[in-house]
């Protein structure tokens, strides 16, 4: 008598383990991100998409599934502690590092880079993004957005290290990508102003106004992150250098989304230009 499922069962078990690992890693990363607070967390929040709002429900369901299927991992206990509001002595970096051990996806590496930046460890974040840049060909299945998102993170790391010119260079390729998000445009506008590149700043402003005509939650989130990042990295009142002061004044007095971004930069400490 033939047994058609004899050889498929191990394959199915392996596939089931893969599903569990992927889900566990994703929930650990989201749980770690929920712990972030303060100026540093706001400064780099826009590097990743917003986390799931129903995290607790999905985390509880995942633990039930793991118990039912008899699959155990060191991540199970940690996930349970996060659900109970515990694991206070475990940093976001440590939690995400464990998630990468369970499932080393590019999304999890992006989250690790963000967590390192929030922790003030810019050199380590730069190394994570550089690693992703070298191995992008391995993650083609992730879609076209991965390339510009990695470059955006790499730019943020270089900016945190005080290398504004290198950061602006990291964004250059992303700006030519039609799939690129709002983050690179917002960052490129600010860095162009900061570096005194007036014509580049005008170009970035035109691109932003041409793309965003009405309300955009994603653009708003990127602008919020920018202002928090400027406050974090550039203590005191921010003013543009002389080389870009004129174009900055033009943009501040203008209309459109680029003008609103510049207006946010005017009074980060309540002062006016």
In tens, the pLDDT along 187-229 reads: 999 999 999 999 999 999 999 999 998 889 999 999 999 999 9
* Whether 105 contacts 141, CB under 8 Å: no
Dihedral (CA of 112, 113, 118, 123) sign: positive
Torsion of Cα atoms, 54 then 56 then 57 then 61, to 10°: 130
Percent with pLDDT over 70 in the chain:
85
192 burial (CB, 10 Å; 0-12 / 13-18 / 19+) is: buried
pLDDT band at 157 (very low <50, low <70, confident <90, very high): very high
Mean pLDDT score of the chain: 84
| Model confidence pLDDT, tens digit, residues 252-263 | 998 899 999 999
What value does the CA radius of gyration of the chain take, rounded to a whole number of Å?
A: 22
Q: Does residue 110 carry a pLDDT above 90? A: yes
Q: Where are the alpha helices (DSSP H) in 84-195?
A: 92-102, 106-118, 122-134, 145-160, 164-175, 182-194
Angle between helices 257-266 and 242-252 (to 10 degrees): 120
Cβ neighbors of 129 (< 8 A, separation 6 or more) are 113, 150, 153, 154, 157
| Model confidence pLDDT, tens digit, residues 20-71 | 788 888 888 888 888 766 788 899 999 988 766 787 888 788 878 877 766 7
Q: Does residue 3 carry a pLDDT above 50? A: no
The predicted pLDDT at position 139 comes to 65
pLDDT band at 118 (very low <50, low <70, confident <90, very high): very high
Of 225, 219, 184, 185, whose CA–CA distance to 44 is shortest? 225
Mean pLDDT of 122-132: 96
């Amino acid at each position: 008598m033939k047994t058609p499922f004899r050889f498929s069962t191990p394959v199915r078990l392996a596939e089931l383990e893969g599903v569990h690992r992927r889900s566990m890693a994703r929930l650990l990363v989201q749980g770690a991100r929920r712990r972030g607070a303060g100026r540093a967390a706001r400064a780099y929040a826009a590097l990743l998409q917003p986390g799931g709002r129903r995290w607790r429900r999905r985390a509880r369901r995942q633990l039930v599934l793991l118990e039912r299927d008899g699959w155990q991992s060191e991540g199970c206990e940690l996930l349970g502690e996060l659900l109970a509001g515990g694991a206070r002595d475990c940093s976001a970096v440590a939690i995400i590092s464990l998630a990468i051990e369970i499932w080393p996806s590019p999304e999890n590496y992006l989250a690790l880079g963000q967590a390192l930046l929030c922790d003030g460890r810019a050199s380590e974040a730069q190394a994570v993004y550089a690693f992703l840049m070298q191995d992008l060909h391995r993650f083609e299945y992730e879609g076209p957005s991965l390339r510009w998102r990695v470059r955006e993170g790499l730019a943020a790391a270089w900016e945190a290290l005080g290398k504004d010119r290198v950061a602006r260079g990291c964004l250059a390729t992303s700006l030519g990508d039609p799939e690129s998000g709002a983050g690179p445009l917002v960052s490129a506008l600010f860095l162009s102003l900061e570096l005194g590149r007036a014509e580049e700043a005008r170009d970035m402003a035109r691109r932003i106004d041409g793309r965003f005509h009405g309300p955009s939650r994603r653009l708003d989130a990127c602008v919020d992150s920018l202002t928090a990042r400027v406050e974090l990295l550039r203590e005191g009142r921010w003013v543009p250098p002389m080389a870009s002061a004129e174009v900055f004044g033009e943009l501040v007095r203008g209309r459109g989304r680029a003008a609103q971004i510049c207006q946010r930069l005017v009074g980060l400490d309540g002062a006016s230009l």
